[in-house]
Structure 1
Amino acid sequence: MTTLLIRDGVIDDADQIAGVHVRSWQAAYRGLIDQEVLDGLSIPDRAEGWRRNLSDPLPTIIGILVAERDGEIVGWTSFGSGREEEGAGDGEVYGIYADPAEWSTGVGRALLDAAEQRILDAGHTRAYLWVLDGNERADAFYARQGWVADGASKVEERPGMSLREHRRVKHLAGS
């Protein structure tokens, strides 16, 4: 397997990021989200959203990183300052996904390590992320990386779906 490069995402990455985004949702959330919703995910629609995110990021964004192997994007993460009132002062990993063909190859860990370092460098000594209830693969991954479930939960309403999620936190200073 060739070397994995972690770098900042740029607008020209939007189509490939969207492809990873859609394929990973369709694989990871099968049986957790209505299949009609998963089947209806559109790479062109997601790419348009990613072009907006990359050209005009939210004010809370610290970064969007991609994992690249042989010129192809095989994963991505977005992160920044916490968006929850309760997590004011914390960092947050907004999303992290690897192409299903790259699961268990170290892509997710490399992206998460880089995001944690960037969040720490931005002055946040603690961070949190949200995991879809029932996503046992993700829960096990985050647990191995030192992220601990803290008992908080929420329901995120999105068009056509309600996502029940639970929070995991990690103290970054000295990790």
Structure 2
Amino acid sequence: MRRKRDRHTITEFDVFRADIRPCIGCNHCGMGGPCVQKDDYENKMKGSIRETDMIVFVMPVYYHNWPAQLKAVIDRFYSFTTELTYMHKKTVLLTAAWDDTDTVFSVVKAYYERICEYMEFYDCGAVYGDGCGTPSMTRGTKHPQAPYELGKSI
């Protein structure tokens, strides 16, 4: 979905409902060509990623990790890794978990930081919403305001 918002154009992809297949490691793309899979990633998302200034990853935490659907998108970056790396995209991570333990985001955070480093993305910040399992739980935390404040700071 593409929409105008204030001074920005936002393109939104619901990777949980999209047809995005995992990378099959065939190396047909050679890290810089078309992917053999003709799904929503190759036909819609890849072009939008090229055009955008910022990628915002928004996700729930599943068993202390990234959801498979979003991980599949990142794995498919392989088909244009070199090009994407030279673009130095800005990124933000917005994530929430039911759990509120100290370690709930350790794997999520480590992976995000590593992807930013490897892809030469510029990390503009993250919101780690612990204890946000339901809307009523979330309202009782400091987290509802945090994405707004992060957005204003960018």
Shorter-chain TM-score range: 0.3 to 0.5
- TM-score, normalised via structure 2 length: 0.33
| TM-score under structure 1 length normalisation | 0.30
Higher strand share: 1
Q: Which structure would you say has the larger Rg?
A: 2
